[in-house]
Amino acid sequence: MSRQINIGVVGVGHLGVHHASHLSKIKNANLVGIHDSDPERAEEVSKKVGTESFDTMGELLENVEALSIVTPTSTHRAVADECIKQGKHVFIEKPITSSVADAEYLIDLAKDHGVIIQVGHIERFNPALLALSNLEIEPKYIEVHRMAPFMSRGTDVPVVLDLMIHDIDLILSFISSPVKEIYANGVSIMTSSVDIANARIKFENGSIANITSSRVAKDRVRKIKMFQQDLYVTIDFLAGISEVYKAMGATQNDPDAIMSAPLVDSEGKHRQIFYEKPVVKKTDALKAELKNYVNAVLGKEVPMVDGFAGKQALDVAIKIHDKILEDLR
Ligand code: NAD
């Protein structure tokens, strides 16, 4: 039997309870216990998941080699600092920290202690996205909408760091070119920080991404559209649906094509468009993400989103937020 890693969860609020629950069932993980600064919540979750609740993080650290940190973003640096200094691997929920300097500090610290940082950009594990893994996605243009009804959770950071950062991370994973220019604006509605934001990012290679995020919407929406030469892809992350439109040249009219153009390309072929709806597996993204982390600690996989990728997404998010603040002044 392969080795199990002893693992703990720090912060078992809305999301942390799901981390603990999944980790208690992952084959290569041994959930040793949890810690939460709210003792009542810790007690409730320890009973629910069937694991030990440690009164202090120090006691939990003595018994594990890896942790999931699911505390509010404003605490990520301090909590991860303590874990890494004790030589423990850390999975840090997104965003990695609330400042780029803090993220850089943790990345350097992890390097010095030879431990892994993985960051919880969960959409990378969304089955609707994974269903497109056979395609070479290099978009010229991306349009993303992410909307959610208002909740007080997550409001310790502006909407750009809470919601938009998911899409920033996805965009940076598709477009491998430095950011050239950012235009952004936003408004505050329910909190003293920005609750609705729009950003347009131009990359050095000419690609453009347009992102809209709101945490005061009536309904939840998480959709992305990507255009590139001969390929148009849409993903509905909530519904778990992906759609692919491919343009190809054909000498004869193909009955499977949804559109045929009279235009003839350089090879004398008619342009035709084919539609495909890939089969999306019904997998749990959080469980897949945590399995990736456990396997990374075991040295069997590399983290899909490491500390550096988490820092890159945060860097762009903070630049967008700064642009919005400039506009609001
Ligand atoms: P939450 O407020 O519901 O839970 C946070 C928990 O951490 C609480 O139980 C609190 O008592 C505890 N806590 C606070 N400070 C602590 C400390 N120093 N030590 C130990 N426990 C502490 O918050 P949440 O919604 O679960 O969010 C937690 C993190 O997860 C945030 O960083 C958030 O951005 C992230 N998140 C990610 C996603 C995602 O899609 N990946 C979704 C929701 C939240």
Residue among 15, 67, 96, 106 to mutate when testing ligand 1 (max atoms within 8 A of CB): 15
- What's the whole-model pTM score? 0.95
**Ligand 1 contact, 36 CB (< 6 A):** yes
pLDDT (0 to 100) of residue 261: 74
CA distance 54 to 58: 9
**What is the residue with the minimal CA distance to atom 9 of ligand 1?**
13
Give tens-digit pLDDT for 225-246.
Answer: 999 999 999 999 999 999 999 9
> Mean of the pLDDT values across residues 80-102?
97
Give tens-digit pLDDT for 263-296.
Answer: 677 777 788 888 999 999 999 999 999 999 999 9
> Mean of the pLDDT values across residues 305-310?
98
Average pLDDT, the chain: 94
Has residue 314 got a pLDDT over 80?
A: yes
Residue among 14, 150, 222, 237 to mutate when testing ligand 1 (max atoms within 8 A of CB): 14
**What is the residue with the minimal CA distance to atom 43 of ligand 1?**
15
Q: How confident is the model at residue 136 (pLDDT cuts 50, 70, 90)?
A: very high
Has residue 36 got a pLDDT over 90?
A: yes
CA–centroid distance, residue 212 to ligand 1 (Å):
24
161 CA closest ligand 1 atom index = 34
